[in-house]
Chains A and B, each alone.
Chain A
């Protein structure tokens, strides 16, 4: 069994009377391709927000690579390799894809506090950007403002920025939401191409993609872990089918 890179213990988040995350204990192993599924409102995005520090948990703890990060600031978690993408694009509208990536790569290399030399003068940064732009087919629009890009390009940029952070644990919140059928596979190929020791936790509704991509699946229902196991056992679990696909399916 591989080492556990991300682990939550008894994680709880309440918004007033609503319990969005209910005693979740989750283990993500090194090199995992781990999917998190569940019906709408099951608390998947809330869980990602807790893991990345956007929200503070009501109770419970989070450990990354064996160290407690429950109260660590968002940006410090990123520096330790916990990186996410967003279900709804969160981009820098007035920057170009090239600038967005150059900034991210520069920061990843620990040089983003530089205030004298222009951004991207470092040859390694420029070449890394070039490679990422080609890989995500953004090279033709690299100098246009992000705000004017078509949705598909912005979605690719959303993921490219996360990859540029060199994640050790990558949290993907519905990476292909709104992406046409034909282009979904390409995005997944890029994610698949990540180094084997990078752990991926994926939220996705497209079951084809989930069962193609993931090796482990956790099912979240009403904020709590409802079932967990390998793809084979989850995909044939009648309880999961009932919850996920609705009662009446057999």
Chain B
């Protein structure tokens, strides 16, 4: 570079102002962005199909009601984890803490206060949301590993508390509580669990609708932004920690709703240490990973696949079913979900070696 380049330049002159945000004559207003933004939250056909299939299952598969109820509850639980993991990018190995708080909350409320299931559900959501809000300070700092360990630690602490405080929780025996009142005052929980399944499906549908509104909203998109790049999220003026706290609270509330359903589904308020056990946290993450994160329905598909595999394999080899689920997980991770669900691509040359 020659120094004449430095010396020869005249100072720049200010040019006529043109504010890109106020519009100008040479950039006409089009409709492309308007149309695209409008289409982003549009309901797709397969979402309706899923809703119809869920409703149809109630009529067509009465023999499988207990399994389906379990799937509906776990799907709601997995969706709540997706808000945290898939959207906000917070890894958690202790998400069952909130499922457990919801389950014990609903069971204790039914036993000691009133047996109405819907009031119990609302109380459980409120209690687990508070638990989520309080513990959200734990997940704001550190790396993914920090968060994995902190969330795991919290679930372990709650597990041991529930174990030790047996005068409240029933300890290792679990909490065998009162009979639930009829749903809406008129639908008695039946032995086949038909009412319970309908109840769980409706709560799941409401939960999905609510979560869908949230993730398509500016708040929901901002979660994905801070998942992708916290530095830039702060640099466009987003309060990162406040948003993490908010989504953690909402997700805890949804997990608590799933926990409440699990406590109420038999028609008797019931919670055991199992709802706070580590394998619950691991299973829900497994389901979500199987179904896929960050598009909301992964939790549903994951819960269906996970429970069906568990049901089918354990009917065939009751003791060793985790071997097969483990093997499936390895194949899924190494092959990739996209490829696994498209068998016709398996024998096509994929890489460009």
Contact surface of A with B, Cβ cutoff 8 Å:
31, 33, 52, 54, 73-76, 78-79, 83-84, 86, 90-95, 98-100, 102-104, 106-108, 111-121, 123, 125-135, 139, 142-143, 161, 163-166, 190, 192-196, 207-208, 211-215, 230-232, 235-236, 241, 244-245, 249-250
Contact = CB atoms under 8 A, between A and B. Distances in A.
Contacts of A73: 234, 239
Contact of B218 (A100, A107, A208, A249): A107
A207 B213 contact: no
Contacts of B36: 98, 142-143
Contact of B21 (A91, A131, A215): A131
21 contacts: A54-B231, A86-B232, A90-B231, A90-B235, A94-B228, A98-B37, A103-B222, A114-B218, A119-B41, A120-B37, A120-B38, A121-B37, A123-B34, A164-B21, A165-B236, A194-B20, A207-B9, A208-B9, A211-B10, A211-B12, A231-B9
A119 B37 contact: yes
Contact of A108 (B11, B29, B213, B237): B237
Interface in B7-37: 7, 9-12, 14-15, 17-21, 23, 27-34, 36-37
Interface of B: 1, 3, 5-7, 9-12, 14-15, 17-21, 23, 27-34, 36-38, 40-41, 213-214, 216-222, 224-225, 227-229, 231-240, 294
B237 A120 contact: no
A130 B34 contact: yes
Contacts of B37: 98, 102, 118-121, 125-126, 129
B222 A112 contact: yes
A236 B19 contact: no
Contacts of A91: 228-229, 232
A34 to B, nearest CB: 11
Contacts of B19: 194-195
Contact of B15 (A106, A192, A244): A192
Contact of A99 (B6, B20, B221): B221
B32 A139 contact: yes
Contacts of A232: 10-11
Given A74-B234, A211-B9, A231-B9, A135 B27 contact: yes
A161 B236 contact: yes
Given A116-B213, A117-B217, A208 B5 contact: yes
Contact of B235 (A84, A114, A115, A134): A84
A115 B112 CA distance: 35
Given A74-B234, A93-B229, A131-B23, A115 B213 contact: yes
Contact of B7 (A52, A104, A235): A235
Given A117-B217, A130-B34, A231-B10, 8 more contacts: A86-B231, A131-B27, A132-B21, A134-B27, A195-B19, A196-B17, A214-B12, A235-B6
Contacts of B235: 52, 74-75, 78, 83-84, 86, 90
A98 B35 CA distance: 11
B34 A126 contact: yes
Contacts of B40: 99, 118-120
A17 to B, nearest CB: 26
Contacts of A84: 235
Nearest to A134: B27
Contacts of A106: 218
A241 B18 CA distance: 35
Contacts of A134: 27-28, 30
Nearest to A133: B33
Nearest to B42: A118
B218 A104 contact: no
A135 B222 contact: no
Nearest to A233: B11
Nearest to B213: A116
A212 B15 CA distance: 12
A75 B243 CA distance: 12
B217 A100 contact: no
B323 to A, nearest CB: 34
Contacts of B220: 115, 119
Q: Which 6 A-B pairs have the closest CB atoms?
A: A120-B37, A211-B9, A118-B41, A78-B237, A130-B33, A90-B232
Contacts of A163: 20-21
B21 A196 contact: no
Given A90-B235, A103-B218, A103-B236, A142 B32 contact: yes
Which interface residue of B3, B218, B219, B233 has the most chain A CB atoms within 10 A? B218
A92 B10 CA distance: 38
Which interface residue of B5, B20, B213 has the most chain A CB atoms within 10 A? B20
A211 B3 CA distance: 13
Contacts of A112: 218-219, 222, 238
Contacts of A194: 17, 19-20
A230 B9 CA distance: 12
Given A130-B30, A130-B33, A134-B30, A92 B6 contact: no
Given A113-B218, A119-B217, A75 B238 contact: yes
